[in-house]
Amino acid sequence: MSEVGQVIAIGGGGFGRNPNHNKIEKYILGQSNKANPNIVFIPTASAEDKSYIVNFYSCFSKLECRPSHINFFQRTPRLNSIINQADIIYVGGGNTKSMLAVWREWNLDRLLAKAYQNGKILCGVSAGAICWFEQGITDSWASNLNTMDCLGFLGGMACPHYQEEKDRRPTVHKMLKQGECMPGYAIDGGAAIHFKNGDYHASIQFYPESRVYHVSLVDGNINEEKMEMTIL
């Protein structure tokens, strides 16, 4: 049976905040077996924010890769051709619910599932991190944090910005105790979690003190396991 691809889920930070801070971006490129991999940016969740796209090219054009991006709110190219040619697919942050709705309308969710089955590297930050999991903790609604069903390439729950936004940690704990969310991974900004062939591989730290946690409910109590970090 052939292996599926890789997923690198980033809790926050990276080129969107500072295109000159490229530790996690270099790590992502280093997972490809290509000398100059094709990396495709999908900024749907940000409504294709122009400055975000500029930051993507500012960062990756200086690294050993061939960057490109996909638009849905202008004339949309043939997606199957772009995804087939991609070695790495990077999904940006923003509104997860709206992003997935657009993807499903264009059948991109199916193309990404096929890409994963074909061994490609899927990665992203915030909305682009949680989308690969069975369930995500999202601020897509203005009123409060919610759970939502995602693509399900990886089992369990994922929550980004765990230490960056004060409501995240207590909300995840409350949801677990009330049975509203699955056990899973909470990812700080400046940290990432890496899966290979559907299995946990490593937790990555690219900002000081940032961490990844596995959070679950054990005998009615919150169990927050600190993952061993690989420091870039």
Which residue out of 32, 46, 69, 161 is catalytically annotated?
161
Long-range own/partner contacts, residues 165-170 (CB < 8 A, 24 or more apart): 165/139, 168/137
Distance CA 82, CA 143 (A): 36
Which residue out of 126, 194, 203, 210 is catalytically annotated?
126
Contact 229, 212 (CB under 8 A): yes
β-bridge partners, 121: 6, 88
Catalytic site includes residue 21: no
Residue type, 35: A
Angle at which helix 108-117 crosses helix 96-105, to 10 degrees, equals 90
SS3 at position 196: strand
Catalytic site includes residue 126: yes
Hey, which residues are catalytic here?
126, 161
